């Protein structure tokens, strides 16, 4: 998947992989820092000392001394995997997706190298992205990112086991903290990271989204959104 041209108003499925398939997060702290980075990197303002400045605040709170947040992109959904992550972004200012992805990747690399005494980028080149042109494609991409990928992490069997016991796997998956699935499944509210926007209009009711996701996963229709 290459980076396709897009303009302001475009919806984009983005993926960024670890170099040579290595893990980009190794423990819970790394994963929670990724969640923080989704918020703090999505801003025209940037404080190089953001970790120190926000340490004493509540999780995902912004210091009062910072200027009002001006987003680079809209984040509609996300899923963090051990060696890569997926996002659906909306370009809301020219170059916003590129700037956000550069900041996010650099922040993760700097943290990883400092913590684990490594050098060089932890990622496999630049991010890859594909335009999402239709509502149907957006729904398939959302199910692929938030359900199929999280199901791959399902204990004792991954995707194959999850498809055999969809309801049980679903209840496990919607509690996975490092994906926005819980926001669309009705178990989390008032996210400061994602803006559901058009995807919220398409997936208005959690039970309807679950039924759609079941059809996508059990029918193998997620292949229509597989961009790797």
pTM for the full predicted model: 0.93
Three-state DSSP class for 157? coil
pLDDT by residue (tens digit) across 133-190? 888 889 899 999 999 999 999 998 999 999 999 999 999 999 999 999 999 999 988 8
Interhelix angle for 166-173 vs 206-218, to 10°? 120
Pairwise CA distance, residues 45 & 138, whole Å: 30
Structure tokens at 227: 């961009």
CA 96/CA 134 separation, integer angstroms:
21
pLDDT in tens, the chain (228 residues): 456 667 899 999 999 999 988 899 999 999 999 999 999 999 999 999 999 999 999 999 999 999 999 999 999 999 999 999 999 999 999 999 999 999 999 999 999 999 999 999 999 988 999 999 888 889 899 999 999 999 999 998 999 999 999 999 999 999 999 999 999 999 988 899 999 999 888 887 889 999 999 999 988 765 655 544
Who contacts 169 (Cβ-Cβ below 8 Å, separation ≥6)?
151, 154, 161, 162, 163
Q: Residue 164 is encoded by which pair of tokens? A: 């055999």
Distance between CA 140 and CA 223 in Å, rounded? 9
For the domain made up of 11-129, give the CATH fold: Alpha-Beta Plaits (3.30.70)
| CB 10 within 8 Å of CB 198 | no
DSSP 14-62: EEEEBGGG--S--SHHHHHHHHHHHHHTSSS---TTHHHHHTTSPTT--
The structural domains of the chain, with segments of one domain joined by +, span 11-129, 134-224
Model pLDDT, residue 2: 55
């Amino acid at each position: 998947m290459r980076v396709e041209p897009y303009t302001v108003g475009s919806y984009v499925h983005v993926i960024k992989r670890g170099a040579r398939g290595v893990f980009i997060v190794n423990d819970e702290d790394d994963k929670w820092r990724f969640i923080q980075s989704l918020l703090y990197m999505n801003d025209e303002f940037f404080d190089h000392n953001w970790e120190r400045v926000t340490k004493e605040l509540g999780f995902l709170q912004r210091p009062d001394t910072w200027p009002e947040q001006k987003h680079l992109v809209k984040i509609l959904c996300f899923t963090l995997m051990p060696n890569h992550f997926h996002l659906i972004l909306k370009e809301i200012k020219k170059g916003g997706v590129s700037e956000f992805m550069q900041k996010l990747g650099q922040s993760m690399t700097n943290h990883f190298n400092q913590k684990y005494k490594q050098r060089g980028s932890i990622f496999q080149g630049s991010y890859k992205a594909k335009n999402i042109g239709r509502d149907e494609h957006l729904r398939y991409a959302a199910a692929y990112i938030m359900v199929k990928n999280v199901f791959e992490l399902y204990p004792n069997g991954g995707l194959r086991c999850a498809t055999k016991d969809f309801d049980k796997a679903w209840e496990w998956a919607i509690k996975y903290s490092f994906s926005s699935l819980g926001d669309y499944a009705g178990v989390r509210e008032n996210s400061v990271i994602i803006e559901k926007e058009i995807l919220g209009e398409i997936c208005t009711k959690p039970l309807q989204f679950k039924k759609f996701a079941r059809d996508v996963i059990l029918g193998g229709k997620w292949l229509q959104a597989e961009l790797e």
